[in-house]
Amino acid sequence: MAILEAGGDGTLPEGFVEWERGLVFTLRHLGRPSRINATVRQKVSKGADFTAYGQLYQRAAAIGEARKLELGLAAGRILHTWYRFEGSACDMVFASITFAVDAEEGMSAPSAAELETPGGATRETLTKEHMEGKLQKLDEIYIDFDMSDPPGSGNDCMLSYGEYVPALEGLDFEPFLERAEDRARFYHRVSSPSGPFQILRREWWTLTSPNLVAIHIYFHLG
């Protein structure tokens, strides 16, 4: 059945914490992707010591490898970085890997020692990539976020799905919801859940400049 209007269904249980843990997924182009980015970000106490970039990097690699396996792709790593961003209330730590199907060999994974401190591509390199339009060529972007305290303790989960579209007139939300639910199931699988996948609530709407279909899928990891 076609879904032609923005809306939502399902109910979140009392106490559900939005944006505690989950995945932000952006789809720029339908079809077989040539560029996939997997990024993991985690909250840490402001100024606290952090040397576990290896855990973030391995998580990003696992997401990318799982997507490659799902698609039957042979894709190498063409860009990776891991760093810390200092915020006002807390700090954020990241690891990010970009995969390309035309780089089957790709770059080697960093050593455990390298992953104890920020490294990989610098902000200057990333800015240059952005200015040259290379980051806009990403077909799929996965951003795994964890704002729970301590990390990994949050059970309330959401997928924030965005898909670029050429026009919004006459849009049927149903195929977009199907794709969003598929990515929510994917994230549930790669997160080693203790319970079955069950959607609690769905919300869908559109944005302009650029034209984007936005969907939120809420579920538990436990």
Q: How many domains, the chain?
A: 1
Instruction: Report the predicted TM-score, pTM, of the whole model to 2 decimal places.
Output: 0.93
In a domain, 9, yes or no: no
Who has greater pLDDT, 129 or 35?
35
60-69, 96-105, 133-142, 156-165: range with lowest mean pLDDT: 133-142
Looking at residues 24-40, what average pLDDT do you find?
94
Give me the numbers of helices (H) and strands (E) for the chain, helices first please: 3, 10
74 has a pLDDT exceeding 70: yes
Q: Looking at residue 153, what is its pLDDT?
A: 86
Predicted confidence (pLDDT) per residue in 160-196, tens digit: 999 999 999 999 999 999 999 999 999 999 997 778 9
In a domain, 177, yes or no: no
Q: Which residues span the domain enclosing 59?
A: 17-157+183-195+204-220
Q: Looking at residue 123, what is its pLDDT?
A: 76
Q: Which residue, 102, 85, 81, is CA-closest to 38?
A: 81
135 has a pLDDT exceeding 60: no
In a domain, 60, yes or no: yes
In a domain, 36, yes or no: yes
Report the alpha-carbon distance of residue 145 to residue 22 in Å, rounded. Answer: 6
Q: Looking at residue 125, what is its pLDDT?
A: 76
Looking at residues 146-157, what average pLDDT do you find?
89
Question: Beta partners for 83?
Answer: 94
Who has greater pLDDT, 103 or 33?
33
Looking at residues 117-145, what average pLDDT do you find?
80
38 neighbors 96 (Cβ within 8 angstroms): yes
Report the alpha-carbon distance of residue 2 to residue 173 in Å, rounded. Answer: 7
Predicted confidence (pLDDT) per residue in 78-128, tens digit: 999 999 999 888 999 999 999 998 776 788 999 999 999 999 988 777 777
Q: Looking at residue 150, what is its pLDDT?
A: 86
Q: Cα-Cα-Cα-Cα dihedral of 129, 110, 61, 70, to 10°?
A: 90
In a domain, 26, yes or no: yes
Report the alpha-carbon distance of residue 57 to residue 62 in Å, rounded. Answer: 9
Q: Which residue, 146, 158, 200, 210, is CA-closest to 13?
A: 200
Name the DSSP letter for residue 180: H
Predicted confidence (pLDDT) per residue in 39-54, tens digit: 999 999 998 999 999 9
In a domain, 4, yes or no: no
In a domain, 8, yes or no: no
Q: How far apart are the first and last CA of the chain?
A: 31
Mean pLDDT of the chain: 91
Q: Looking at residue 92, what is its pLDDT?
A: 95
